[in-house]
Amino acid sequence: MTTYFRPSIDALSPYVPGEQPASKVPVIKLNTNENPYPPSPKALKVLQEIPGELLRRYPHPMAREFRQAASQVLGVPADWILVGNGSDDLLTMIIRACTEPGRSVAYPMPTYVLYRTLAQIQAADVVEVPYPEDYTLPVEALVAAGGAVTFIASPNSPSGTEIPVELLDKLASQVTGVVVIDEAYVDFAETSALDLVKRYENVIVLRTLSKGYSLAGLRLGFGVANPTLLSGLIKVKDSYNVDAVACAVGAAAILDREYKDENAEKVKKSRSEMVTALNEFGFEIWPSQANFLLVRVPASVRAEWLYQQLKERGILVRYFQQSRLADKLRITIGTPEQNAALLDNLSSLLQKS
Ligand SMILES: *Cc1c(COP(=O)(O)O)cnc(C)c1O
């Protein structure tokens, strides 16, 4: 059979994002970890007032305005920041710049599935190290894996568990390749590993505006690392990888830290209420520092059945058809009203079963 593609592309099973129903369809969407609250009013004002001239010209290749704003908010120099079209764009740059056949990618499992997909596109070898049931970081096994790149999501998805900074520090000190600490959910957590970038030349911390800042549709993320590590990534990035609108709107959003923190507090409050309620229903829940919960469903039901039944009732949660996750669901924290609707439906479904 003829093929148009490289063998690694023919062999690839593509990444499957969570369902995105048309916005007119009234569903309670608790499947892709979006923030249930609207973006900052200051960011929306910038969006509404975008001048035509900003769109007529090419954007700044390094997203200067956003980079400056992020530098101010994080207290790191602007040349330690690399901006991308979502943090997924940073993942792509890292894989492209650092890996190829013979230069492997390592990460603990289960985690963000895109790490595997991007490594396979690059035809890099993949070393997957299983997490234990309590999601303690398997530092020794990851060091032994010898990845040219090691990915750690903290808080991790789909478990929601946070990796203690001491363990990330230990990993960074023992690994020779690049250590990527993906902090997509840091806005809902109590700690960050950002300081490690100052101590280790091989560490890059990734952040996104998709979760904490309610801007998943804008596509804006960034990496923080020393300029030496960033220099190689800049070589492989698309010339204009961040559009002018995302740059301007994102700058206003990240400067409105107060608004982001208020919403994160609301989510965290709902998270602890959901833990209590789901525990009473007989769900087993992993300790989450993110805006979602990984839950093992009660023994009386199957996770896939529950997912389907909720879907028929207009509530989307995430079910992963993976060996370790077949009896679990990942549930995004919604507004109090959305959470209450979920609990109501779960209550009647569990009684029925
Ligand atoms: C959501 C998510 C991302 C992607 O963020 P974008 O900035 O929207 O591309 C990256 N890593 C993890 C672990 C995520 O859950």
Q: Are residues 28 and 70 in the same domain?
A: no
Residue 25 has pLDDT above 90, yes or no: no
φ, ψ (nearest 5 deg) of residue 126: -120, 130
Q: How far apart are CA 349 and CA 353, in angstroms?
A: 6
Q: Are residues 235 and 307 in the same domain?
A: no
Tell which one of 154, 182, 209 to mutate to probe ligand 1, the residue whose CB is within 8 A of the most ligand atoms. Answer: 182
Distance 46 CA to ligand 1 centre (A): 24
Sheet with 221-224: strands ordered across: 81-84, 221-224, 203-208, 178-182, 149-153, 105-109, 126-130
Residue 249 lies in a domain: yes
DSSP string, 28-89: EE-SS---SSPPPHHHHHHHHT--HHHHHSPPPTT-HHHHHHHHHHHTS-GGGEEEESSHHH
Q: Are residues 287 and 219 in the same domain?
A: no
- Judge whether 273 and 293 are in contact, CB under 8 Å: no
Specify which residues 182 forms β-bridges with: 153, 206
| Residue minimizing CA distance to atom 14 of ligand 1 | 184
DSSP string, 305-334: HHHHHHHHTTEE-B---SGGGTTEEEEE--
Q: Report the CATH number at residue 31.
A: 3.90.1150.10
Residue 182 near ligand 1, beta carbon < 6 Å: yes
Residue 1 lies in a domain: no
Per-residue model confidence (pLDDT) at position 91 = 98
Residue 318 lies in a domain: yes
Residue 71 lies in a domain: yes
Average pLDDT in the 166-191 region? 97
Per-residue model confidence (pLDDT) at position 353 = 72
Specify which residues 128 forms β-bridges with: 107
Task: Point out the ligand 1 atom lying closest to the alpha carbon of residue 89.
Answer: 9
Residue 157 near ligand 1, beta carbon < 6 Å: yes
Residue 183 near ligand 1, beta carbon < 6 Å: no
| pLDDT tens digits, 118-158 | 999 999 999 999 999 999 999 999 999 999 999 999 999 99
Q: Are residues 16 and 45 in the same domain?
A: no
Q: Are residues 211 and 310 in the same domain?
A: no
Task: Point out the ligand 1 atom lying closest to the alpha carbon of residue 87.
Answer: 7
Residue 136 lies in a domain: yes
Residue 98 lies in a domain: yes
Domain boundary among 235, 256, 277: 256
Q: Are residues 198 and 135 in the same domain?
A: yes
Residue 210 near ligand 1, beta carbon < 6 Å: yes
Domain boundary among 240, 256, 272: 256
Mean predicted lDDT score pLDDT of the chain? 96
Q: Are residues 220 and 133 in the same domain?
A: yes
| pLDDT tens digits, 93-116 | 999 999 999 999 999 999 999 999
Residue 133 lies in a domain: yes
Q: Report the CATH number at residue 66.
A: 3.40.640.10
Q: Are residues 12 and 79 in the same domain?
A: no
Residue 62 lies in a domain: yes
Distance 53 CA to ligand 1 centre (A): 31
Distance 349 CA to ligand 1 centre (A): 31
Distance 209 CA to ligand 1 centre (A): 9
Residue 193 has pLDDT above 80, yes or no: yes
Residue 226 near ligand 1, beta carbon < 6 Å: no
What is the domain range of residue 137?
41-256
| pLDDT tens digits, 237-286 | 999 999 999 999 999 999 999 999 999 999 999 999 999 999 999 999 99
Output the CA torsion sign for 69, 73, 78, 84. Answer: negative
Residue 156 near ligand 1, beta carbon < 6 Å: no
Q: Are residues 148 and 274 in the same domain?
A: no
Overall domain count for the chain:
2
Q: Are residues 157 and 33 in the same domain?
A: no
Q: Are residues 302 and 249 in the same domain?
A: no
Residue 184 near ligand 1, beta carbon < 6 Å: yes
Residue 160 near ligand 1, beta carbon < 6 Å: no
Q: How far apart are CA 31 and CA 173, in angstroms?
A: 36
The two tokens of residue 30 are 């608790």
- Burial class (CB within 10 angstroms; exposed 0-12, middle 13-18, buried 19+) of 16: exposed
Domain boundary among 196, 222, 256: 256
Q: Are residues 177 and 71 in the same domain?
A: yes
Average pLDDT in the 31-59 region? 98
| pLDDT tens digits, 214-233 | 999 999 999 999 999 999 99
Distance 299 CA to ligand 1 centre (A): 31
